Amino acid sequence: MKETQIVQGQVEKTSTTERISGSEAIVKCLIEEGVDLLYGYPGGAIMPVYDDLYKYQDKIHHVLCRHEQGATHSAQGYARISGKVGVAMATSGPGATNLITGIADAQIDSTPMVCITGQVPSHLLGSDAFQETDIVGISTPITKWNHQITKASEIPEVIAKAFYIAKSGRPGPVLVDITKDAQFEEFDFRYEKCSGIRSYKPVPETDKEALKVAADFINNAKKPLVVWGQGVILGEAEEEFKAVIEKAGIPSAWTILGASAIPTSHPLNVGMVGMHGNYAPNILTNECDVLIAIGMRFDDRVTGSLNTYAKQAKIIHFEIDPAEVDKNVKTDVAVLGDAKDSLKQLLPLLNPNSHIGWRQRFKDLYKIEFEKVIKADLHPTKDGLTMGEVLKEINVQTKGEAAIVTDVGQHQMIACRYAEFNESKSNITSGGLGTMGFGLPAAIGAKMAAPDREVISISGDGGYQMTIQELGTIFQTKAAVKVVVLNNDFLGMVRQWQQLFFDKRYASTEMVNPDFVAIAKGYHLNAKRVTKREELASAVEEMIASKEPYFLEVCVEKEDNVFPMIPSGASVSDIRLE
C-alpha cells in the first residue's frame, strides 16, 4: 500500500507501507539506519526480535557476546573507532540490568549507542512479573534519552528518534524498551529517518562575537596553552584543529579521550594532562596566560584542585554542550557550537605566531621528566620487565598504526602515556567512568568495525578477568584481536595508592591468578607467556604477524608505580615525579 503525505506543508513524500510484526519492524528499522552489526544476548522477552533477525542474516549480523555488559562495551568499541552508532540488545530483567555499566560508561564518554531491551507484556507491567524490571526508570540518569514502547505502531518513530538523538550534537546512549506484545502485534510499517525534533537543538549556533573575543585573547597571548579532548574527534575536526594550532604556534596537550586527534610526534603535541599526565603540560597549566579548552569538560582528573587550577589565565572554552560551560571552571569566553565549524571560523581570525620561547619551556620540563621517569620506564636497568617497555615494543612492531584499546588501571595510564598514535580514533579506553573489564569486549567491537586495522587490547590481570568470558566471542567470531595482559599479580593502581597513601597496607589487592595461557588455549587461541626481556621482541613480532586472534601474557614487575602523579585533590603544580 502506498501513502502520500505533505511534510511541513511543502514537500510531498510518497512512501510504501507493509503489514508486518513489531519484531520484524525493529529489524527493518535497524537496517534502514545502516546497522550492519549488533551485539547482544537473547532471552524470552526479546525472542521475537531474534526470530526475525534470523530471517535477515544477509543484511545484519548479530554477535552473540558472553555477557550483556560485553555487548555494550563491544558496541562502544564499534562506535568509537567507526564514528557510527553502536547497537546492543538484551532481554528484560537481568539482561537489561546487565547493560547498565556499559550505558553509564557511554554516557559519560559521549559514545553514540542505541540499546534495545525486551520487556514483559504490557498487561503485566508493574506486577513484578518474571524477569520484569523498570529499566526505563533505572537507566534514566545515565541515558541521553529513553522510551518504553507498548504498541507496535510506535516502533518506527521511536527508533528513528533514538538513532538521531544518539548521534546528534554531543553523542550518547539511548535505550528503547519494547514490550513483548508490541513485538508480536502487526501494523502497517513505514520508516522515515529522523532529521530533527521540535525543541531539541543538538548543536548551538556559534556566536561570532565570542569567536572574535577568543581570537583576540589568543593573538595577544604570550604563553597560550591548548587542552583538547574527545570533542575534536567526535566533531571530526582533526584537520581544522591542526590548522589552528599550527597557525598560532600553540603548544597543545590532550585528555586521555582526546589522544590521537593529531599524531603523537607532532611538534606542538606536548603530551597528556591530568593525574598521570606529562610533567610539562601539568606544571605549565598554572603558568600559561591563556588556556584554550577544546571539546573537553574539565574533569577532576584533569584539573586537580579547582581552587588552584589556571587561576592566572584567561579561559576560552570551545564546547558543544552548554551544560559543560562554567560547570567546573569559570570561563572568560565560551564558544558554543560544533568544533569543526567553530575552529574553521576561528582560523582566519588568528595571527601567525610561533611562541618559540614558551615552547622551549615544555621541552626543558620534558627533559626533567625523561631523566626521572621515562628513561626508567622505557629503558629499564632492573631485571623485571616494565609495562612501558612492552608499549615501546608494540610501537616498534606496529609503527604507531595500531588502535590501542585498554582496560582501566596502571596499564591504561602507561598505554596512554607511551603508545604512539599516527591515526585518529586510535586510543579507545574508558575515561570518565573508569570501567574495569572494558578493554577486551571493546576491542572486539573495534576490530569488527575496522577489520583492516591492527587492534590491540591491553589489560591488567584484574580488569581482564572481569570480562574474560568474551574470549568465547573471539573464538566464535574469529575476530583477529590481539590480547595483551600485563600481569603484575596485583590490582596495580589500587596497590600504588595503598603504597603511597596507606603505608603499604595492601588490603585485598594481591591477585592469585589462574594460568591465563591455558585459558586462552582452552578457547583455541594462539597464546604465549613472556617472563624475560629477551623473549619480548620476538613474542610481540609473532603476535603482530598473526592473522588470527592472539593472546600474549607479559609478566611485569609486581610493585612498579606509574609516575608522574598528582595526588587526589592536589594542585596540578604538585605533580610528583617519584
Q: With 90 as the cut, is the pLDDT of residue 9 above it?
A: no
Question: What pLDDT is attached to residue 2?
Answer: 42
Give percent of the chain above pLDDT 70.
97
pLDDT tens digits for range 46-71 = 999 999 999 999 999 999 999 999 99
Q: With 50 as the cut, is the pLDDT of residue 4 above it?
A: no
**Span 373-398, mean pLDDT?**
96
Q: How many residues does the chain have?
A: 578
Q: Checking DSSP bridges between strand 427-428 and strand 403-406, what pairing results, if any?
A: parallel
Torsion of CA 488, 493, 498, 501, to 10 degrees: 140
Q: How far apart are CA 256 and CA 417, in angstroms?
A: 9
Mean pLDDT over each residue of the chain, to the nearest integer? 96
Question: What pLDDT is attached to residue 490?
Answer: 96
One CATH from 2.20.25.90, 3.40.50.1220, 3.90.580.10, 3.50.50.60 for 208-361: 3.40.50.1220
The class that CATH gives domain 379-555 is alpha beta
CATH code, 16-189: 3.40.50.970
Q: Tell me the CA distances in angstroms from 468 to 71, 212, 430, 519, 543, one per residue in order.
A: 13, 52, 17, 9, 19
For cell 555477557, what's the residue? Answer: 67
Q: With 60 as the cut, is the pLDDT of residue 181 above it?
A: yes
**Span 166-189, mean pLDDT?**
98
Cell of 475: 573464538
**Span 226-239, mean pLDDT?**
98
Question: What pLDDT is attached to residue 365?
Answer: 98
Residue range(s) in the chain whose domain bears CATH number 3.40.50.1220: 208-361
Question: What pLDDT is attached to residue 16?
Answer: 79
Q: Checking DSSP bridges between strand 18-21 and strand 186-189, what pairing results, if any?
A: antiparallel
Q: Which residue has the higher pLDDT, 9 or 296?
A: 296
SS3 114: strand
Question: What pLDDT is attached to residue 7?
Answer: 41
**Span 321-344, mean pLDDT?**
97
Please, which residues have CB within 8 angstroms of residue 205's CB and are 6 or more apart in sequence?
336, 337
What pLDDT band is residue 382 in, cutting at 50, 70 and 90? Answer: confident
Question: What pLDDT is attached to residue 15?
Answer: 61
Show the 3-state SS of 409-429.
Answer: CHHHHHHHHHCCCCCCCCEEC
Residue range(s) in the chain whose domain bears CATH number 3.40.50.970: 16-189, 379-555
pLDDT tens digits for range 219-230 = 999 999 999 999
**493, 500 in Cβ contact below 8 A?**
no
Catalytic residue numbers read 68, 130-131, 180, 493
Q: With 90 as the cut, is the pLDDT of residue 355 above it?
A: yes
Give percent of the chain above pLDDT 90.
96
pLDDT tens digits for range 243-275 = 999 999 999 999 999 999 999 999 999 999 999
**Span 453-481, mean pLDDT?**
98
The angle formed by the CA atoms of residues 349, 351 and 355, to the nearest 5 degrees, is 140
Cell of 57: 542474516
Predicted model pTM: 0.95
What pLDDT band is residue 105 in, cutting at 50, 70 and 90? Answer: very high
**Span 349-353, mean pLDDT?**
98
